[in-house]
Structure 1
């Protein structure tokens, strides 16, 4: 799917493209989603060197994620995406030229839909391709801050569930999802910081003071958000340890009950085993009240053991 965003005065018009269409004039942004073989052939007219491949999006080396060639600046950026309770990371490849921004992605991204919504409401003030790219990164940082705020709310809810035995399994699952999502958020922040520093170095000659100031502000925002992700990690680990500790405590209570029951019934078992022996000379076996006496002895020994445990505070 290929979508062109053309500059119309101070606003951007959205125009889907077919393979038979040529690139519209005043195209400021060309967004390419899940291109097939024919669409990749169509893309060759846009690139002097190699056309980006889908399997290149997940490269993690800095030399593969941020570089410059004849086609312009190439920036691989990781975007967090909420999917239900989970947060996943989606890579987007941007090619920045003086007059046009090209984005290349293999998954739909909610942030792009939000950007199109802003375009329809004329809420974007992009004068050129670098401005548009910085607008995208600005929205990305705002979206990440919203995800961090949601993380705090989730941990407030799980903190109340940690001591509830019935919901402990679900609480552990929520905490593990939150830990994985927070990892994607932190990774996206580090990736965005690297991308912005690369853009700042690249725009040192061609960019203007306003763009460089804008980048500095976003870098400051990222530095202020990173401690929050570390705090969330600490809070998640604390709640996980508390949940595991509470589980161990509940298991200890069950084991304690079995241990006390075994000790309480140990004296009666001893008495019963003594009188269950088959020796010929056992005077008690001839008593008329030997059987009731043994029952009373077993009952008294069990009650005495229970009273001793109770008085010591072990029950």
Structure 2
């Protein structure tokens, strides 16, 4: 599918197809293009349109290059980023003179919000260059929103780790299991955002050399510079968030180990406390014919008292030593 946009009173307006609007179109958005649509765009721009397989190549020379005066740039962008498992796929931007062509196979949010805003208000997107910069700004804003939501979720997980509401150990164990799963999802999301920001950071550096050849070049260069700074700051924030998730993961495992050690300690202390009474009971449970204490009138209560004292003394000693 091809979406063609022209400039109408400093606003973008969607038109029906490229035919008859070749000179007026400033932005072509190709969504899941077929062979015929790719061939039509190649004839219009005199530039080869990369295939999906070519877009997915990871080397820099395949993502950022110049062909027949057109700058071809590819970045990894997320779609359906409302959850923790966004769809990550490459998007290619082809800037050729006054024309911009985007090729994509998924639906990033910015490709829905940016055209709507550019149709309703004059955003200064009157050339392919300014459309590209405005679109990249919308993409960066969307990534910032995703990272902000991830930061809030990680902060909530941090409170669950260090301030658990459950008192019972079994319920806390179940909560920690949920926390571990949540941290794993956030780490996956943050990793995807870092990959996307890395490609955008390289793209913005490449774009800085492509803009600035028009009368509004100074403003375009300033916007690209600001865009590059925003991407760099978001990349730093994503790195910080990843480090925090790693710390929380270690802290969660540490809390689980503390709980397990506490349970083992209680079991060990209980075994030591009941060992002397068991020894006393075992001695007087032997079936020898000659046992002087068997004839005692108060032998039974004395044996019970001895067992109680032998249990209390180790418990008191452990408490005094601070082991309990």
Q: Give the TM-score band, short-chain normalised.
A: 0.7 to 0.9
Which residue in the other structure is 1:223 paired with?
A: 232
* Matches for 1:291-306 after TM superposition, within 5 Å: 291-306=300-315
Alpha-carbon offset, residue 50 of structure 1: 4.6
Which residue in the other structure is 1:179 paired with?
A: 187
Which residue in the other structure is 1:275 paired with?
A: 284
Gap regions ≥5 residues in structure 2? 165-171
User: Structure 1 residue runs of 4+, over 6 Å off?
Assistant: none
3-state secondary structure, aligned to 1:265: helix
Which deviates more, 58-67 or 301-310?
Answer: 301-310
Alpha-carbon offset, residue 264 of structure 1: 0.6
Match of 2:52 among 46, 51, 54: 54
CA distance in 1, matches of 2:226, 2:241: 23
Instruction: State whether structure 2 residue 51 is matched by structure 1 residue 42.
Output: no
Match of 1:241 among 225, 243, 250: 250
CA contact (8 A) 1:33 1:105 kept: yes
CA contact (8 A) 2:274 2:311 kept: yes
CA distance in 2, matches of 1:291, 1:24: 109
CA distance in 2, matches of 1:188, 1:263: 58
CA contact (8 A) 1:148 1:229 kept: yes
Which residue in the other structure is 1:213 paired with?
A: 222
Which residue in the other structure is 2:12 paired with?
A: 12
Which deviates more, 190-199 or 215-224?
Answer: 215-224
1:180-200 deviation digits (Å, cap 9, x = unpaired): 222222222221121111122
3-state secondary structure, aligned to 1:46: helix
Alpha-carbon offset, residue 235 of structure 1: 2.3
Instruction: State whether structure 2 residue 113 is matched by structure 1 residue 114.
Output: yes
Which residue in the other structure is 1:79 paired with?
A: 77
3-state secondary structure, aligned to 1:83: coil
3-state secondary structure, aligned to 2:40: coil
Gap regions ≥5 residues in structure 1? none
1:289-311 deviation digits (Å, cap 9, x = unpaired): 54444333222211222222223
Alpha-carbon offset, residue 174 of structure 1: 2.4
1:187-244 deviation digits (Å, cap 9, x = unpaired): 2222112111112223465682222222112122223333322322232222222222
CA distance in 2, matches of 1:108, 1:135: 17
CA distance in 1, matches of 2:141, 2:246: 26
Q: Against the structure 1 CA distance between its residues 231 and 198, is the aligned structure 2 distance closer, same or farther, given a 3 Å change threshold?
A: same
TM-score (norm 2): 0.85
1:66-93 deviation digits (Å, cap 9, x = unpaired): 1111372211112234132344533211
Which residue in the other structure is 2:154 paired with?
A: 155
Which residue in the other structure is 1:250 paired with?
A: 259
Q: Against the structure 1 CA distance between its residues 269 and 190, is the aligned structure 2 distance closer, same or farther, given a 3 Å change threshold?
A: same
Q: How many residues align?
A: 309
RMSD value, Cα: 2.5
CA contact (8 A) 2:55 2:91 kept: yes
